[in-house]
Amino acid sequence: MIIDYPWYYVLFCLLAGAAYAAGLYYVGRRRFGKGVNALLAALRFVAVSAIALLLLAPVAKRTVNEQQTPIVVVAQDVSESIDSTQLTVDGFLKGEPYEMVYETFGGTTTDIASELSDIASRYQGRNLGAVVLATDGIYNRGGNPATTAERLSFPVYTVALGDTTPQRDAALASVRHNRIAFLESTFPVEVTVNANRLKGQSALLTIVDGQGHKVAEQRVDYSDSRFSTTLAFSLKAAVAGLQKYTLHLSVVEGEKTITNNTQVFYTDVIDGHRKVAIIGNAPHPDLTALKQAVGSNPNYEAAVFLSDELRIKNEEWKDYSLVVLHNLPSATHQVPKECEGLPQVFVIGGQTDLPRFNALHTGLEIVSKVKKSSEVTAVFNGQFSLFTLEEGDGSAIEQLPPLSAPFGEGKMAVGLQSLFTARLGSIDSRQPLVAATTRGGQRRAFVWGEGLWKWRLGDYLNNNTHEHFDHVVSQIVNFTAVNDNRERFIVETDRHYAEGDEIVVSAQLYNANFEPVNGPDATFSLQGDSIKGDYNFSRRGSGYSLSLGALPEGLYHYTAATTFDGENLTAQGSFAVEALHLEQANLTADHSLLATISAITGGKMYYPNELSALDAQLSTLKPVIYTHTRFSELLNLPWVLILIILLLGAEWVLRKYHGEV
């Protein structure tokens, strides 16, 4: 017995029991005979002492031996590469003297390493005697199973299924392509074709778009019995939206299967063409340098305007995604009203009117008491996180000539990050030279200095290219041009799912203050190649959620709708479910891998006709006896309560029997 109090507390409990018994039966008149008094006092002493001891919350310690029957997990591969007529292992094992657990894995893909790791995790701490792994050794997901096997503490007995003889077959082994492409651009597609035992034959590989138009083709000559080649295509993104492309490899007579001769992939074509207005207070060589840098990105078109000659009609402003303001606002020109609400890049130079600039509350304030400029060079800030530069861009900018920056002290609002800070001579001032922010939902960027034309020229002199300067400007433009104005009703899905994935759609509704609400009902209408359905969102947290489960391969379009404050709100989009044909890309069993897994773990590989020997091997597994210590609070043991009740009951019976009234 263990208690958390000093040992002498037990003496106090015994003393309490003795005092209670003595006071009841020996102090004052003797109520019963001498022997009866002694027996009654003893019963009361034990009962009271026991109750007092229980108040100390004693714990009983005992040793327990438990026997666990060995468990054998039979993992059966049911992937597409397994012949469905092949046997299932569990019907040929007796399950004695072990407990057999049968499970399956695989499907459109096979991950043997993950299956072994999951078994090890689920049965940790139990008597896992062995694992029987029935598979053909072909895996197309996860790591190398042999590496995983090195970490296992139980033997793996493998059952070698499938055929190790290469089949007469050709297959589209893999397709590599861009998930995203810009409208009117070209994007690469690489296709790997494998073929076995087809030497001297040839086939035609064609690519067809979603409208059924052939967009590319190439002939493949199988020049070897074990043939593999990679073909490169360049496709044009002619239509915006999620586009479907189908690859088909013509079938040669005698192929084992033709399902691996066709694959489908999807590319999201984005209409990313944007117009940038570069507005200068006065003619300046920076304006041309900026136009050339912006124009180096094929998705942007830049136009230069001077404040005195600004000729953009009101209806034309909607075509612009970004405005670059060079030396604006100045003493003679304000920022055009039409620029309000547009993402903005400020180039702050000697003509910039700093008080007017500070009055815009852009997130950067420059406090200056004298009107002069300093020559500053750039120091790259590796902690900048709003967007990334290419490797070498930061160091290349640091080597460029200085910019002319108006003298002053910069005050940065929360959220403003410096991409480059300013160095004055050999002193790093920590003041922002190039910075960006998303403050207030409107993206802005700042260049605190003019003379960018010297940066572009210096980049060419140092590196024989304008790429570093152009890429930095392009990244600033890419980041700033994104409009953060939110829609009131937003639906979020991935653009690509693998066949078999659970598809969960989430949605968010905002009130006029852009606070999330989910009071109104919301509906979801889905239209696919072979599926059409209407669903209702469920409320989850402050938004909405909808599980569509797993959908078959295809292109799906959706429309979500709700009504809030008398306004009908809708959101539309599309996503693709891509079929995985990895199982059909390789039909040749890998029994050497299975033998390796068994050897590493202390098991053995068996063939389907040797299952009786496997069962005999498993029958030698022995149960394991686990010895462990258990601690139980005496207060929770029912027999302790029963004992106290019996003691007090016996005392009561004796007193009644001997005439107490």
How confident is the model over 414-446, as pLDDT tens digits?
889 999 999 998 888 889 999 999 876 678 999
Mean pLDDT computed over 63-70: 80
Residues 306, 266, single domain; the answer is no
CA-based end-to-end distance of the chain: 40
User: What pLDDT, on the 0 to 100 scale, is given for residue 661?
Assistant: 43
Q: Is position 583 within any domain?
A: no
Residues 122, 224, single domain; the answer is no
Percentage of the chain lying above the pLDDT 90 cut: 44
Residues 53, 86, single domain; the answer is no
Residues 458, 328, single domain; the answer is yes
Residues 247, 204, single domain; the answer is yes
Q: Is position 2 within any domain?
A: no
Both tokens of residue 197?
A: 């035992």
Question: What are the two backbone dihedrals, phi and then psi, of residue 479, each rounded to the nearest 5 degrees?
Answer: -65, -45
Closest C-alpha among 594, 578, 608 to residue 138: 594
Residues 144, 286, single domain; the answer is no
Mean pLDDT computed over 321-327: 94
Contacts of 656 (CB under 8 A, 6+ apart): none
Residues 443, 323, single domain; the answer is yes
- State the pairing for strand pair 320-326/344-348: parallel
Note the pLDDT tens digit of each residue in 498-522.
887 889 999 999 887 667 889 999 9
Both tokens of residue 68?
A: 């666990």
State the pLDDT confidence band at 615, using cuts at 50, 70 and 90.
confident
Residues 573, 613, single domain; the answer is no
Is the confidence at residue 484, as pLDDT, over 60? no
Please confirm whether the linkage preceding 329 is cis (ω < 30° from 0).
yes
Mean pLDDT computed over 122-142: 88
Residues 538, 601, single domain; the answer is no
Q: What is the CATH number of the domain that holds 458?
A: 3.40.50.880
Structural domain of 258? 169-270
Q: Show which of 238, 270, 302 is a domain's final residue.
A: 270
State the pLDDT confidence band at 632, using cuts at 50, 70 and 90.
confident
| Lowest-pLDDT choice from 160-169, 259-268, 312-321, 439-448 | 312-321
Residues 123, 203, single domain; the answer is no
Note the pLDDT tens digit of each residue in 219-274.
999 999 989 999 999 999 888 888 999 999 999 998 888 888 998 999 888 776 78
Residues 332, 446, single domain; the answer is yes
Note the pLDDT tens digit of each residue in 192-214.
999 998 999 999 999 999 889 99
Q: Is position 324 within any domain?
A: yes
Q: How many domains does the chain have?
A: 5
SS3 415: coil
User: What pLDDT, on the 0 to 100 scale, is given for residue 85?
Assistant: 55
More confident call, 470 vs 66: 470
Residue 417 burial by Cβ neighbours in a 10 Å radius (0-12, 13-18, 19+): middle
User: What pLDDT, on the 0 to 100 scale, is given for residue 513?
Assistant: 65
Question: What are the two backbone dihedrals, phi and then psi, of residue 121, each rounded to the nearest 5 degrees?
Answer: -70, -45
Is the confidence at residue 48, as pLDDT, over 50? yes
Please write down the HEC assignment for all residues of 418-437: EEEEEEECCEEEEEEEEEEE
SS3 506: strand
Is the confidence at residue 156, as pLDDT, over 90? yes
User: What pLDDT, on the 0 to 100 scale, is given for residue 309?
Assistant: 82
Is the confidence at residue 120, as pLDDT, over 60? yes
Q: Show which of 245, 270, 295 is a domain's final residue.
A: 270
Residues 635, 602, single domain; the answer is no
Q: Is position 1 within any domain?
A: no
| Lowest-pLDDT choice from 215-219, 231-235, 627-631 | 627-631
**What pTM was computed for the model?**
0.53
> Which of left, alpha, beta for 5 (phi over 0: left; psi -120 to 50: alpha)?
beta
Q: Show which of 251, 270, 289 is a domain's final residue.
A: 270
Amino acid at 131: V
Both tokens of residue 382?
A: 């590796």
Q: What is the CATH number of the domain that holds 120?
A: 3.40.50.410
SS3 114: helix
Q: How many CB atoms lie within 10 A of CB 106?
A: 24
Q: What is the CATH number of the domain that holds 252?
A: 2.60.40.10
In whole angstroms, what is the distance from residue 482 CA to residue 344 CA? 11
Q: Is position 504 within any domain?
A: yes
User: What pLDDT, on the 0 to 100 scale, is given for residue 660?
Assistant: 61
